């Protein structure tokens, strides 16, 4: 693994190879006195996951955890695997990996009642509500394979002394690249999508595209949240010679970090958005950010601004955004996160357009699940599980909720 710098002076572990420099031995497993059930809710990768083993975050490839334990001479219980070895070694690791997560008959709700460890991914969130936490009597650890643990009721996790860890930093570059791509190409400033669609249709009318295409140079870009992703977005925008780069965050960037990208902090959100041509959302979803971008805040956006949200769908009010795009108050909205995932077929964000028929850059939740990111968060999730099994201290940057308290400062001002 290697350590890369964090704008706030912390460190980010990014795994470039297997995290198991010292793999677990059978003995360590026995000492760990393991007797636990691991429940993993992942998305079905179907044909693609069978063809592409690097699609690790799928029910088929199971974050590589099955392979890992088998390499160490252990077998899982569950899925018809041989249990003899576990019984011989007094090890019981019951494992359920499933994508079924909605409703009382889902695997998620059936198995959460006696699971000790829950592994989920933001890309196919198993929503762990307060009510489910109250039923989950054995639950001690929730691991988010990725970044963003808002699908877990974190306040209830604090109350029930359930720890919540994520693989901090694992996909922050992946998302920052997607944000910059969205600002530039996909929908927004360059009006790329309608241009490409015109070509596929067999048409050619340059003026229809150029009437709504601009340079990023000379524009004002602001980020709501300047943590690992927000800061990386600002870093990547530096060469575009924007007029100014602004940020809104209750935690100011260290002076040297702000100076190196030329970022200016604006303490009032309305004031910041009123100056921006492009606003990008890069803060977690919590009580203080749910519905933050609503009709009221949108009124303060410049007419014709572009909005990119790869943080969490519910930070933006779905209908307020659709209305603002339809009226042309927003020129474009782009992102990969939705208030409910998977998004219903008739979700207004799938098809909403600006008055010129463009401005929609919505995609499924995939910016942080590139194959490179999957390698890192699968390795990180295994590392968290390994630490838990052998009682080793967890990487502090990964701990969102520790025993009975928030450890991360990113989930609101407390």
Which residue number, 101 or 365, has a Cβ lying nearer to ligand NAD? Answer: 365
Q: Has 4 been labeled as part of a binding site? A: no
360 is catalytic: no
Task: Give CA–CA dist 154/136, Å, rounded.
Answer: 14
Q: How far is the CB of 256 from ligand NAD (least distance, A)?
A: 16
Task: Give CA–CA dist 219/244, Å, rounded.
Answer: 7
Which residue number, 117 or 266, has a Cβ lying nearer to ligand NAD? Answer: 266
**What backbone torsions phi and psi does residue 245 show, to the nearest 5 degrees?**
-115, 120
Task: Give CA–CA dist 375/55, Å, rounded.
Answer: 8
Pairing between β-strand 35-41 and β-strand 117-120 as defined by DSSP bridges: parallel
Q: Has 287 been labeled as part of a binding site? A: yes
Report how many residues bind ligand NAD under the rule CB under 6 A. 32
Task: Give CA–CA dist 380/64, Å, rounded.
Answer: 11
333 binds ligand NAD (CB under 6 A): no
Helical H segments across 36-188, by residue range:
46-51, 65-71, 84-88, 107-111, 130-135, 154-159, 172-181
Task: Give CA–CA dist 146/178, Å, rounded.
Answer: 16
Q: How far is the CB of 247 from ligand NAD (least distance, A)?
A: 8
Residues 224-263 as x/- pattern, contact with ligand NAD by CB under 6 A: xxxxxxx-----------------xxxx------------
Cβ proximity of 243 and 220 under 8 Å: yes
Q: Has 406 been labeled as part of a binding site? A: no
Task: Give CA–CA dist 409/404, Å, rounded.
Answer: 15
Residues 275-314 as x/- pattern, contact with ligand NAD by CB under 6 A: -------xxxx--xx--------------------xxx--
Q: Has 365 been labeled as part of a binding site? A: yes
Ranges within 143-202 binding ligand NAD (CB under 6 A): 147-148, 171-172, 175
414 is catalytic: no
Token code pair at residue 92: 């019981």
- Which residues are known to be catalytic? 171, 312, 341, 365
Binding site membership: which residues? 147, 171, 228-229, 249, 284-288, 310, 336, 365-368
Summarize as ranges the residues that interact with ligand NAD (CB under 6 A): 147-148, 171-172, 175, 224-230, 248-251, 282-285, 288-289, 310-312, 336-337, 365, 367-368, 410, 412
């Amino acid at each position: 693994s290697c350590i890369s710098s964090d704008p706030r002076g912390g460190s980010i572990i990014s795994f470039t190879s297997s995290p198991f420099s010292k793999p677990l031995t059978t003995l360590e497993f026995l000492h760990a006195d393991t007797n636990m059930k691991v429940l993993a809710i992942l998305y079905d990768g179907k044909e693609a996951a069978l063809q592409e083993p690097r699609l690790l975050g799928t029910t088929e490839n199971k974050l590589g955890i099955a392979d890992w334990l088998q390499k160490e001479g252990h077998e899982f219980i569950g899925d018809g695997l041989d249990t003899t070895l576990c019984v011989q070694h007094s090890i019981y690791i019951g494992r359920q990996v499933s994508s079924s997560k909605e409703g009382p008959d889902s695997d998620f709700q059936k198995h959460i009642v006696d699971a000790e460890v829950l592994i989920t991914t933001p890309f196919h969130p198993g929503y762990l509500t307060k009510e489910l936490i109250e039923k989950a009597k054995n639950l001690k650890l929730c691991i988010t394979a990725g970044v963003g643990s808002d699908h877990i009721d974190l306040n209830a996790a604090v109350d029930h002394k359930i720890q919540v860890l994520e693989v901090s930093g694992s996909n922050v570059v992946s998302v920052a690249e997607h944000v910059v791509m969205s600002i530039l190409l996909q929908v927004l400033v360059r009006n790329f999508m309608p241009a490409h669609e015109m070509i596929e249709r067999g048409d050619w009318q340059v003026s229809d595209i150029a009437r709504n295409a601009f340079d990023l140079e000379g524009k004002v870009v602001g980020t709501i949240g300047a943590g690992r992703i927000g800061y990386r977005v600002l870093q990547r925008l530096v060469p575009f010679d924007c007029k100014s780069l602004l940020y809104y965050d209750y935690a100011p960037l260290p002076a040297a970090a702000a100076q190196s990208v030329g970022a200016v902090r604006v303490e009032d959100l309305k004031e910041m958005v009123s100056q921006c041509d492009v606003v990008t959302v890069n803060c977690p979803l919590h009580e203080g950010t749910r519905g933050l971008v609503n009709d009221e805040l949108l009124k303060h956006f410049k007419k014709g601004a572009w909005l990119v949200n790869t943080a969490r769908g519910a930070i933006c009010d779905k209908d307020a955004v659709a209305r603002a795009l339809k009226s042309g108050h927003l020129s474009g909205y782009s992102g990969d996160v939705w208030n409910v995932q998977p998004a219903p077929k008739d979700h207004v964000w799938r098809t909403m357009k600006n008055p010129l028929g463009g401005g929609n850059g919505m995609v499924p939740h995939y910016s942080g699940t590139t194959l490179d990111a999957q390698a890192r968060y699968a390795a990180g999730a295994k590392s968290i599980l390994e630490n838990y099994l052998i009682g080793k201290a967890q990487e502090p940057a990964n701990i969102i909720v520790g025993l009975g308290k928030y450890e991360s400062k990113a989930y609101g001002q407390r």
